[in-house]
Amino acid sequence: MKPPIRIGTRGSPLALAQARMVAEALRDTHDWGPELIEIVPMTTTGDVIQDRPLAEVGGKGLWTKELDRALAEGRTDISVHSMKDVETIRPAKLVIGAMLPRADVRDRLVGADSIEALPHWARLGTSSPRRAAQMLARRPDLNIVPIRGNVATRLRKLEMGEADATLLAAAGLDRLGHPEIGTVLDEILPAPAQGAIGIEMLAGNKKLAALIRAVDHRPTSVCVLAERALLEGLGGNCRSPVAALAQCEGDQLRLRAEILTPDGTEAERIDTRFPAADLTAPRDIAGQMLDRAAPALRVLFSGWAPFS
């Protein structure tokens, strides 16, 4: 395949910044000029619907279906995604061809210097079931209020007093040039695949696959695929609070994960290691977690079956 390569992306400032990162990686790797890559922004359903939590209106597919359609119709050659926003089960005709080096995986608390510093009964603005559950597990007095939109929108809603504090991904803030905003929360596990940028394409295009594979950061891909395999094994949905982080340690992966009830009162956690080449381990670990989980927690995950 010969360039130009058309990159499909959401039109938000963060999505465009990530598409430019992919374009730069491809140009640097293949010594291409700027004219050989075209960025094609588009508006997704998830960008349009801002007044309801994602889980109520269709889940993560609202971020991807317009990009998927552009690939299928030949209007774009690749799509760039924040991997944490990509559904666990993807159409067979699509494949993640590469991931860029992962950025900071942590969340940042905006509006207070620490979780403990939040006022009693403070309003925490988030539409993430994971973030809500993790914060309620530490501060059950918090009032969770829904807040959605891109980074600038959520920061503006905070300034307007719609919430006292919110949580944002450090990776997104850094990519937008705001490393000074918020307090890093080291004690909070991130969403599976948080901080990773993926490049998706139609399966079967070997020439394009070779070009895209050249920018793949293998440690990121291995860790993110393990986290997504765990998520698949859990069988949850957008309402199921899940956190996971895999890290390379030589020829092994360390996987930390937790599943929680929405109010944070029940949780099952694991911190384990397994050979990086063992592609079945994350699903087995998911089964172990669900087998040990309390009934109120287990019922949130439709894919559960007794572990053996």
Is it true that domain 107-185 has CATH number 3.40.190.10?
yes
Known catalytic residue at 28: no
Buried b (16+ CB within 10 A) or exposed e, 202-223: beebeebbebbeebbbebbbbb
Helices of type H across 74-204 = 129-138, 151-159, 170-175
171's CB contacts (< 8 A; 6+ apart) are 102, 103, 104, 105, 194, 195
Give the CA dihedral 143, 184, 148, 146, nearest 10 degrees: -10
Return the CATH number of the domain spanning residue range 227-298: 3.30.160.40
Q: What is the pLDDT along the chain (308 residues), one digit of tens a residue?
A: 566 899 999 999 999 999 999 999 999 999 999 899 999 999 865 555 454 555 554 445 566 888 999 999 999 999 999 999 999 889 999 999 999 999 999 999 999 999 999 999 999 999 999 999 999 999 999 999 999 888 999 999 999 999 999 999 999 999 999 999 999 999 999 999 999 999 999 999 999 999 999 999 999 999 999 999 999 999 877 778 999 999 999 999 999 999 999 999 999 999 999 999 998 999 999 999 999 999 989 989 865 444 43
Cite the residue boundaries of each domain of the chain with CATH code 3.40.190.10: 5-100+196-216, 107-185
DSSP 86: S
Which of 18, 12, 165, 149 lies closest to 82 in space, CA to CA? 18
Catalytic residue among 85, 104, 107, 164: 85
Cite the residue boundaries of each domain of the chain with CATH code 3.30.160.40: 227-298
For residue 240, the model assigns a pLDDT of: 86
* Distance between CA atoms of residues 102 and 225, nearest Å: 13
Q: What superfamily in CATH does domain 5-100+196-216 come from?
A: Periplasmic binding protein-like II (3.40.190.10)
Beta bridge partners of 136: none
